[in-house]
Amino acid sequence: MRIVFIGASSLAVMTAHQLLRHHHEVIIIESNKDKITALSEGLDCGFIHGDGSKPAILKEANPTETHLLFCLTDEDKTNILASLVGRSLGFQRIITRIDDPELEHVCMELGLHDTIIPDRTISRFLSDMAEGQDPLELSTLIRDEARIFSFVIGADTVGSLDNLALPDDCRVMCIYRDDKLILPKNGDELKEKDEVLLIVTEKSLARLKEKPVARK
* Neighbour tally for 41: CB within 10 Å: 7
Buried b (16+ CB within 10 A) or exposed e, 147-157: bebbbbbeeeb
Q: Quick one: pLDDT at residue 75?
A: 94
Same domain, 13 and 115: yes
Residues 72, 44: Cα–Cα separation, whole Å: 19
My answer on whether 99 and 147 are in the same domain is no
Overall pTM surpassing 0.85 (yes/no): no
Bridge partners (DSSP) listed for residue 214:
165
Does the pLDDT of residue 61 top 90, yes or no? Answer: yes
**pLDDT band at 113, cuts 50/70/90?**
confident
Q: By three-state DSSP, how is residue 185 classified?
A: coil
- Domains: count for the chain: 2
- Residue span of the structural domain in which 18 resides: 2-122
Residue among 131, 28, 21, 102 nearest 72 (CA): 28
Is residue 104 located within the same domain as residue 211?
A: no
User: What is the rounded distance in angstroms from the CA atom of residue 129 to the CA atom of residue 188?
Assistant: 34
